[in-house]
A = this chain, B = another copy of it.
Amino acid sequence: MDKRFLREAIRLSIEEMQAGVGGPFGAVVVRDGRILGTGCNRVTSAHDPTAHAEIVAIRDACARIEQFSLAGCELYASCEPCPMCLAAIYWARLDRLVYAATRADAAAAGFDDARIYDEIPRPPETRSLPTVQALRDEALAAFRAWAAKENRIEY
């Protein structure tokens, strides 16, 4: 079963890339043994740096069921998810991840996944991205207002 869905993700990674949609990455979201959502990399054609295959598949599946949680679902990806997509998998509450190629394979093909994996855990002041923090006290008002909001929908 895993191989069937993983091959579908790989098929998408090749066909959509050949069609000019984006980079060579595909993904599918599966629930109860059926495909609920699909995605391929659309970064260049959609002018969207966040349109990685996994993100596109998660958004597709969520749109279909009109829910922001994919608890009970699994994600199959043609390549190990980058940190953006891995974190999205946690936020989507997916139960399980199956992937084929690795971040090292992606790096060898010219993609920055491995470099970004190295950057994320670093303290902000040691990252290559210049980062500044300010106005924390003013921003905390948003969390206080959230805590006081009676009809808030948590996620």
Contacts and interface: CB of A to CB of B under 8 A. Distances in A.
Interface of A: 2-3, 6-7, 10, 13-14, 17-18, 20, 22-26, 43-44, 46-50, 52, 55, 58-59, 62-63, 65-70, 78-80, 82-102, 105-106, 108-110, 112, 115-117, 119-121, 124, 129-136, 138-143, 145-147, 149, 151, 153-155
Top 7 A-B pairs, shortest CB-CB distance: A100-B139, A84-B87, A24-B142, A101-B139, A83-B87, A109-B143, A24-B146
Contacts of A91: 43, 49-50, 52, 82, 84, 112, 116
Nearest to A122: B121
Given A25-B142, A101-B140, A133-B99, A109 B147 contact: yes
Contacts of A68: 43-44, 46-49
Contacts of A110: 154
A146 to B, nearest CB: 4
Nearest to A139: B100
Nearest to A129: B97
B141 A10 contact: yes
B47 A55 contact: no
Given A90-B112, A129-B97, A47 B67 contact: yes
29 contacts: A6-B135, A10-B141, A14-B141, A14-B145, A17-B145, A17-B146, A23-B146, A44-B153, A49-B58, A49-B92, A50-B50, A50-B55, A50-B58, A50-B91, A52-B91, A83-B84, A83-B86, A84-B84, A87-B116, A89-B129, A90-B112, A91-B112, A96-B130, A96-B132, A99-B133, A100-B138, A101-B136, A109-B143, A120-B121
